[in-house]
Amino acid sequence: MEDLLTKYFTGEITAQEKKRLFSAMDADPALREEFYALQNVMAVSGCLESEEDAVVATQGYKRFTGKLFRRRLLQLVSRSCKYAALIVLVATSVYFLTRHQVLEQLAERYTEVTAPGGQRVKVDLPDGTVAWLSPCSTLRYAASFNGKDRNVELEGATFFDVAHDTEKPFCISTGNYRITVLGTRFNVMAYPESDRFEIDLVEGSVRIENTHDPTDHLILHPHEQAVLRNNRLWKQTSAFDNEEYLKNGIVSFKSRPFGEILDNIALWQGVELTVDETVNVHGLVTGKFRQSDSLESILRVLQSVADFSYDIVDEKHVIIYR
């Protein structure tokens, strides 16, 4: 298998030989460790052909041992002079891999914050932007945030108070849509498990673009809301007045369809609500509750403004009926 390893990392291996090598690795842990070690060196030195290979190599970094590399390098030296350039590159990479700073750079690539079900989380970003994550929401940003750019990824719902910086627009990626702002306050709802996509603008302006369709875009101004209709962005007047409530973990709703409130609860609590057809989901309701309250407490509050009964089957499934 030594010849196959050499061929793999010099690009001379055939498809059949590659299959033999991987099969042997599955059966031989020592061979697999040696492969990962060499792959790590090649990833950091820039020799791998694809980003996927580099990611795999980074994930396997902790399996690196200096002894294993030194042994492998000696074997490569004994092979052929035509691999001399590769050997020099590998040796240089080993030196840098032993440095603690490199390990830190590989480990600290992204920061990810998740709000658990029923809880809100306040996040202070490095640029001064403040984000209030709704329950079951995740915010992710690179370690280089506020360096060359201010890009974040969002799954769920979050209220943003963005720090103004004309030279570095604040960009939010939410699945199919990208939101770009300079400095503003707005609420985003973009749970991946829901078809709903909503943005309510309180202050400033935002540009929203469909990353798959350049014709699907719009610009929001204060007190406007972006929603999806027939899978395209649509602008309408916003009735959003929940900023202070959301910051304190309180949900306030005025003349909203009952079905919409139930949908929100399912997303915030991370549960499945099965709603019987006898329930009037289009009826308008008004009220408020704390997101941190238990699911049963929230349902009891809603019973004071809507006619329904419920049955909690288990912690992840509730039946709503009349």
Residue length, the chain?
322
**pLDDT value for 244:** 78
Q: Give 239 or 152, the one with higher predicted confidence.
A: 152
Cα–Cα separations (whole angstroms), residue 67 to 47, 96, 101, 127: 22, 15, 20, 43
**Mean pLDDT in residue range 119-135:** 93
Which tens digit of pLDDT belongs to each residue from 169-189? 999 999 899 999 978 999 999
As assigned by CATH, the class of the 250-321 domain is alpha beta
**pLDDT value for 143:** 83
CB contact set of 231 (below 8 Å; sequence gap of 6+): none
- Report phi then psi at 298, rounded to 5: -65, -45
Which tens digit of pLDDT belongs to each residue from 74-85? 454 444 444 444
Cα–Cα separations (whole angstroms), residue 113 to 109, 110, 119, 279: 14, 10, 13, 36
Residue 6: which H helix or E strand, with range?
helix 2-10
Residue by residue, what is the 3-state secondary structure of 229-245?
ECCEEEEEECCCCCHHH
Rounded CA-CA distance 60/44 in Å is 12
Q: Give 300 or 30, the one with higher predicted confidence.
A: 300
As given in the structure block, the two tokens for residue 246 are: 């959301």
**pLDDT value for 159:** 95
Whether residue 127 is predicted with pLDDT greater than 80 in this model: the reply is yes
As given in the structure block, the two tokens for residue 167 are: 């030279």
**pLDDT value for 57:** 39
Per domain, the residue ranges of the chain are 2-107, 110-237, 250-321
DSSP state of 149: B
**Mean pLDDT in residue range 213-236:** 94
**Mean pLDDT in residue range 34-62:** 46
Prediction pTM value? 0.64
- Report phi then psi at 186, rounded to 5: -160, 165
Which tens digit of pLDDT belongs to each residue from 7-39? 776 667 787 777 787 778 767 777 766 765 665
Whether residue 276 is predicted with pLDDT greater than 90 in this model: the reply is yes
Whether residue 249 is predicted with pLDDT greater than 60 in this model: the reply is yes
Does the domain at residues 110-237 carry the CATH identifier 2.60.120.1440?
yes
